Structure formats: C-alpha cells, structure tokens
Amino acid sequence: MIKSADIMGKITTLEDRHKIQQMVADGHSSKQIAEAMHLSISTVKKWRSRIKKGQLASSMGRPKKGPLSSFAPDVADALTRLREAHPGWGPITLQLELGGEVPSRASIARFLHEKGFTRDYEPHAGVAQPRVARTERVHQRWQLDAEGNRQIEGVGTVALLNVKDVHSRTYTGSYPALLKSTRSHPKTDHYQMALRVAFTEFGLPETIQVDHASVFYDNSNRSPFPTRMHLWLTCLGIDVYFSRVRRATDQAHVERMHQTMVAQAIEGQRFYDWEHLARRLSERRQVLNHFYPCSTLEGCAPLQAFPEARHSGRIYLPERETAQLDLNRAYQLIAEGTYFRRVSKDGTVSLGGQIYYLAQAKPHQQLRITFDQHSQSLIFHLDKEQLRKPIKGIDKQSLTGELWPYGPFPCFQLPIPFDWQSHITSIGTRLFETVGVTT
C-alpha cells in the first residue's frame, strides 16, 4: 500500500486520498473532511489541490539519484565487486560481508535490483501441504538429501550431500560426493562419509529423515529388506525416518539448504581440487550457523538461537566407529520384518544383496522369510518344512564399507591425547568445532 506523511506526521494512504476525492465530489468542505478522517485541514487542502490536477500519488520517496546515493561511492563499488564475484549472495550475506548494519538490507536489495543483479520470482501458491511431526529439541531429527549432480571446474562431477537439523535449523553437513560420471549417483559410501563428517562435528542425532532413494530403501521389493545404510545407522543408535513417497515438502529444510549452499559457496567460484571445495563449503556453513539471520528464528543465526545445538551430547569419534556399532540393533530391526522372495531357476534367493542357495526349494516358488535373532539365522518357510541359513553381510566390516577409513575424508585436528575418561567428560579439545574443515 502506497503511503505518505503529512506535516503533522499523519500517514495518508492511497485509499485515504481516494476517500478525500470522493468526499470532495460529494460536496463536503475541507473542515468536514478533516474531522471525518482525523486529518489536519492543511493536509486536506493539499490533496484537494492535487486532486484537481489529477495527482493522487505522493511525491515523497527516495532521492532521484537512486539507492545508496547518500553513501560514499566506495560502498556501491564494494557491493558491486562482491556480487559479481559471488552471484548467489543476497542482501543479508552482502551486509554481513560489509561488516556492519548499514546500508540496510532493504537498501542493498534496491541497489541490486536497480543494477540488474536480481531476477523476478514467481509467488509461492497452490494447494497447502500437510506438515510432518514437529520436533521438540535440537538434534532430535536431521534431514539428509542429495542436491543433484553438477559439473564443477577443477573438481569434476559432484553431488552435494546436505544435512540439516530440523529444530534448530543448524547446517550440520555439506559434503561434496565426487562421482565417476555425470550419470553416476551417490552410493552408500558417499552418504556414510557425509554423515561421518557431520557426526564428528555435531555428535550423533536421535533420528535421520531420508527419502526413498535406493541407498536408504529397497525399492525393488514390496517387502523391503533394510539396506546397508539403514543397518549402519541403526547400529550407531540412530533411528531412520522415511519421508512420504513423492512428497518433497517433507524434506523442505534440506531441500532449501541445497539452494543456500550452492548460492553461498559455489556460484561464480573456481576451485583447485576437491579439498578446496570441501573447505569452502565448511567455511560457508560456519557463517550460516553463527552469523546468518534466520527469519524463522526471529532474525538470529541457528547457533545464536540454539547454542545447545553445538553438540548433541552423543559423542562420535571416527577412530572408534567400529567399537560404537552394536550389531544387536541390526538383528532386532531385521527380526521385526517378514520378507517374501521368489526362488530363481538356479535354486537361489537374493535377500539384502546376499545370495542363499536352497537345494530343497522349487524354482519360481515364493518363500516367506523370517529372522531368528537368537541364532542369527534366516528361516526360509517352504511348504512343509523350514530351512535355516546363517545371515550374511551383517558384520562390522561389511556395514562400515570398503572405503572406510581410507575414503575422501576432510582432515581434522585430532584431539589432544588425554586419557579416555577425561575425553568422555570434557569431549576433548575439539578444534574442528570452531574452524571447520582444515587441510
């Protein structure tokens, strides 16, 4: 709504001026109009005079010289250089980089618009989407998702694997998965590495929310067997929460993070190698977590609004991951399900990527399969008998993956070697919590 201020400080809107115009046409005097609308007589007379000339718009506003005309020229020059170097940075980030509260974000936004640095956005509308259950505390639920493949000069084909805490809005991870080709997809080893980096910095969350990608969910069967990724998280004491099929809005926080990380760290930038990209992503996460104001947190940065989100309190150490895995949790998860598979022509059944030979089974026969947690055996239910086979692939080495601990893992400052009990009590000297990724 267009507004202007009169000499008494009273704001007159465009609606007020149309009302004055109507009352003038009805024959009311300036005094009558002023009393009816609680305006000064001088204001009414001013607008009566302008109405006769067909002028309803206010002549007040920004100086004709344009936005930032009241600032020194080097301010506009600095903004132009920053924006040209970082096309994804908006008014909030630019104000942070200038190191002060002036110019205001609104002034910077007007400047960007006038200089042609912005694009028009379509308004958000459509059918309202249901919300997933609300969280009650920090690190209660993280969202994990892949941004999609992109070619980055100096690095290759990369898919950003982003992780975000739902409750505090903390950016807990942004890992550049290096892929073999443009058609490749991130594998379990990539997702594990992304989470290991996040766990090292923020500790273990209670749950992780993911979509139905094949890494997390066996889409090839109506009775899906837990994937290696699912079992690995379960063994670490983390529950897996699946979003609804084809409902990207369930992953809204991490979906929005994709755009943010690309704009903050990648657009318009050049990278020497993979480590340079990983370091850049970590540096921008630190800015977003500590300084970047979030509208849903009343203008505070995530770790300003929720300082307790610096660590979940559930310690994770890469060098002790194998010791932290509890296979009994995986056995319990498998025992809760019932699985149906059809016997191949060779008398074999595939379950969880493992092959089991059943000499007594008939080709193409459908079997019901359960799991005995105590004997750690799969039970194949035939027509009149049961066959037991030791389960395969449920061991610590298989769950941690072949690349661990030799995969592309950003280097961190190791904790000072106090005794283990002191480390548990104080969480050691965790330098990476303040400086992020180092090389």
Residue 105 shares a structural domain with residue 188:
no
Burial profile 393-415: b = 16 or more Cβ within 10 angstroms, e = fewer: ebeeeebbbeebeeeebbebeeb
pLDDT confidence of residue 61 = 53
Residue 232 shares a structural domain with residue 279:
yes
pLDDT surpasses 80 at 271: yes
pLDDT surpasses 80 at 327: yes
In angstroms, rounded to a whole number, what is the distance separating the alpha carbons of residues 82 and 404? 39
H/E run at residue 222: none
3-class SS of residue 11: strand
Q: Band of the pLDDT at 145, cuts 50, 70, 90?
A: very high
3-class SS of residue 414: coil
Averaged pLDDT, 405-409: 59
Higher pLDDT, 119 or 425: 119
> Torsion angle, CA of 297/303/305/308, rounded to 10 degrees?
130
Residue 78 shares a structural domain with residue 48:
no
In angstroms, rounded to a whole number, what is the distance separating the alpha carbons of residues 249 and 231? 26
pLDDT digits (tens, 9 = 90+) for 88-116: 788 888 878 877 766 887 888 887 777 77
Q: Band of the pLDDT at 128, cuts 50, 70, 90?
A: very low
Residue 83 shares a structural domain with residue 229:
no
Q: Specify if 244 maps to a domain.
A: yes
In angstroms, rounded to a whole number, what is the distance separating the alpha carbons of residues 437 and 431? 10
pLDDT confidence of residue 137 = 95
pLDDT surpasses 70 at 335: yes
pLDDT surpasses 50 at 278: yes
pLDDT confidence of residue 147 = 92
Residue 171 shares a structural domain with residue 223:
yes
Residue 242 shares a structural domain with residue 194:
yes
Residue 281 shares a structural domain with residue 233:
yes
Q: For the range 391-395, what are the long-range contacts, defined as Cβ-Cβ under 8 Å and sequence gap of 24 or more?
A: 391/334, 391/354, 392/352, 392/354, 392/356, 393/228, 393/352, 393/353, 393/354, 394/231, 394/327, 394/330, 394/331, 394/334, 395/327
Residue 262 shares a structural domain with residue 345:
no
* Mean of per-residue pLDDT scores for the chain: 83
CATH number at residue 30: 1.10.10
Q: Specify if 371 maps to a domain.
A: yes
3-class SS of residue 30: helix
Percent of the chain, pLDDT > 90?
Answer: 51
pLDDT confidence of residue 415 = 43
pLDDT confidence of residue 424 = 44
pLDDT digits (tens, 9 = 90+) for 163-187: 999 999 999 999 999 999 989 999 9
Averaged pLDDT, 325-350: 93
pLDDT confidence of residue 124 = 43
Return the closest-CA partner of residue 82 out of 92, 97, 63: 97
pLDDT surpasses 60 at 43: yes
Q: Specify if 408 maps to a domain.
A: no
pLDDT surpasses 60 at 329: yes
Q: Specify if 357 maps to a domain.
A: yes
Residue 231 shares a structural domain with residue 377:
no
Longest dimension (CA), the chain: 104
Residue pair 352/393 in contact (Cβ under 8 Å)? The answer is yes
Averaged pLDDT, 285-289: 95
Q: Specify if 327 maps to a domain.
A: no
> Residue 388: CB partners within 8 Å, gap ≥ 6?
372, 375, 377, 378, 379, 380
Residue 145 shares a structural domain with residue 104:
no
pLDDT surpasses 90 at 188: yes
Q: Band of the pLDDT at 121, cuts 50, 70, 90?
A: low
| 45-49, 148-152, 233-237, 373-377, range with the lowest pLDDT | 45-49
Q: Band of the pLDDT at 340, cuts 50, 70, 90?
A: very high
Q: Band of the pLDDT at 436, cuts 50, 70, 90?
A: very low
pLDDT surpasses 90 at 350: yes
In angstroms, rounded to a whole number, what is the distance separating the alpha carbons of residues 108 and 419? 52
CATH number at residue 217: 3.30.420.10
Domain that holds residue 24: 3-52
In angstroms, rounded to a whole number, what is the distance separating the alpha carbons of residues 163 and 171? 6
In angstroms, rounded to a whole number, what is the distance separating the alpha carbons of residues 216 and 240? 9
In angstroms, rounded to a whole number, what is the distance separating the alpha carbons of residues 375 and 243? 33
pLDDT confidence of residue 409 = 62
pLDDT surpasses 50 at 438: no
Residue 270 shares a structural domain with residue 156:
yes
Q: Band of the pLDDT at 125, cuts 50, 70, 90?
A: very low
Residue 261 shares a structural domain with residue 208:
yes
Which two tokens mark 423?
């480390």
Q: Specify if 225 maps to a domain.
A: yes
Number of structural domains the chain divides into: 4
Higher pLDDT, 433 or 62: 62
pLDDT confidence of residue 406 = 54
Q: Specify if 237 maps to a domain.
A: yes
In angstroms, rounded to a whole number, what is the distance separating the alpha carbons of residues 17 and 297? 38
Averaged pLDDT, 39-61: 77
pLDDT confidence of residue 69 = 72
pLDDT confidence of residue 425 = 44
Q: Specify if 61 maps to a domain.
A: no
pLDDT confidence of residue 433 = 42
Cis check: omega of the bond before 205, within 30 degrees of 0: no
